[in-house]
Each structure stands twice: as structure tokens, then as C-alpha cells.
Structure 1
Amino acid sequence: MNRLLRSICACLFTLTVLAVATPSQAQDDVGLVRVGSPAPDFRLPTLKGESKSLSQYRGKIVLVNFWASWCPYCRDEMPSMDRLLRSFPKGDLVILAVNIEKRIPEKYRRAPVSFDFLSDAAGQVQQRYGANRLPDTFIVDRKGIIRQRVTGGIEWDAPKVVSYLKSL
């Protein structure tokens, strides 16, 4: 009996390891976004109660930035995102800062930035994009194709970043 129990446990352990290590068909069906693929459209509310969709910005370069107020890297990169936005002709670059918290703290409702904060309180857009490490930013070109994914905070107004974005 003891030998049978050990054998069953060993089989279950092996199956568990294989299930975790091998992507399943169910995970592939979720269709997480990939660089080079069309960016999935979404519609989310702004802090002012307006509704914004990704598709309304077709023809513009869009940064879809997933963030949270408790994330220090998210907070640190926001000033450089604002400077980046100001370095482009008005309307040529759009930043959609998608907050993943249930409730956005009041201080961000008054934040002096030039871009919109969107609320994804239900986490549906975050899940669709697979944005699990914050900040997580998707660079979407004028045709709606994801060109880059940047995980972690960066200086968005660095000359190389600005040059790359202007080349899109």
C-alpha cells in the first residue's frame, strides 16, 4: 500500500510539473498580445467619467501604460512620460495610463499630467494584455500594431526613445 501511494504521488507530481512547464491550448486560446500583432481594442472610463477607446486613436502613436499608485517605478516614470508627450506635436502621440486598482487615490485625480488616466478596476484589459509586472507599456503604431513592450520603468523622454517613437 505504501509503495502504491508513493507511485501515485510521483505520477501526480510529474503531471503537475508538465502542466506548469508546457503551455496548454487553453492558455493559447486566451490570445495574450504579442509584439507585431494588432493591439486589442478596449474602452475604459477616464477619471472625468468620459469613455476612451484605443481604436479612437488610430493614426496616432499610442503608449498603453499599465500602472498602479503603489508601484514606485510607475510613479517615477510619469514625469518623463509627460515631458515625452509635450515633445510631440499636439495629438501625434497619445498616452493612455491604465490604472489597475479598484480605486485610484485622490492625489492622482489632481495630478498635473497631460495624459488621461483610465480605470481598469475589473482588470479585464490588464488580463487581456497580460500586464502582470508593472509598469508595463505597449507601444502601438499608427496602424494599431504593437511595436514594442516595455516592462519596468524607463525615462520616456530619453533621446533614443524619442527618436524611436518619432520613427513610427
Structure 2
Amino acid sequence: MKWTAVVLMCSIVHLASVNCQCDLGNKVDYDPKMVEGSRYLVYSSPDIFEELSKIQIEFTLEEGAYFSTRNITFKNVTETRVFNSTWKINSDKDIDAVTPEIPKFNAVYRLLSKETRAILIFKSCPAGNNGTPIILVLTDEQCPKEETVQHALADVGLDITNFSKDPAVDCGN
């Protein structure tokens, strides 16, 4: 009976560890300068826009990659919160993101796309997300053409139907 319990417990632990694994995907080699500039977080998977909206990020490359974020609006909060955070390029060219105000999103992010400066797709596996990756689509304009985003996602094997668009961004649609 004890052996059955041990085997059952080991099986549960094994299944839990397999289900909680999160793959960042293939590494791409990129020039960090291509990330510089203003970016808008317009699409995400899963939907993060219930917590955050109208996100604009200013990437400024220094000795590592550092950016300040601004125009972040939290749901049910009428004022815009402005704060800084740090994303630093590590030796694998992945990016270690630390944003104290929203620690849920502190994680290692991997750039999945590098074909264009207009659309950057980042994937992360935050610790508290039960193995579910977060994929962020950052664009160089607040209202990119949906077909352009769709094409960029398809280039890395992703489908736009699995993404949410920030409903707080009014593009006149």
C-alpha cells in the first residue's frame, strides 16, 4: 500500500512538472539596436489587458538594454501611472525584465521575431503563471494594421486568433 502511494505521488509530481514546463522557443540572433525606440503593447496572449492597458514602452539601449515604461493604465484606476523598469540583455540575448510595480510580469523574455523593427514579438514564462507563456506583440505605432500583425505572428508559427487586442486603444474602428 505504501508503494502504491509513493508511485502515485511520484506520478503526480512528474505530471505537474511536465505540465508546468514552458518553452521559450528558438533563439534568434538580433542587433539590440533594432529594439530601440517607442513601442506600443497592442496584442497579448493570454489577455493581460484586464490588468494593464495603453502601454507604451521607450527602449533606450545603454550598456545593457534599459527601458522606461509610461502611459500604463491599471483597470479601475482613472489616472495614468508612470514608472521605470529594467530589461537587461543577458549573455543568451534573452532579456531579463524587472518591473517592480507589476512583478507578475518579471521574467526572462525571448525575442521571437527580428525581421522588422515595426513589430517585435516577445515570449516569457513568468514563475507564477503555471507554465503558461505570455506572448507580447510590441509595435512601433499604436494602431498597426491587423494584417501586418497577423503576418508577423504567422512568420513565427502563431495565430492572431489566439491573441487579445488592447480594448482601451481607440483606433477608430
Structure-2-length-normalised TM-score:
0.27
Greater Rg over alpha carbons, structure: 1
Query: Counting helix residues as a fraction of each chain, which structure ranks higher?
Result: 1
Greater relative contact order (Cα 8 A, min sep 6): structure 1 or 2? 1
Structure-1-length-normalised TM-score:
0.28
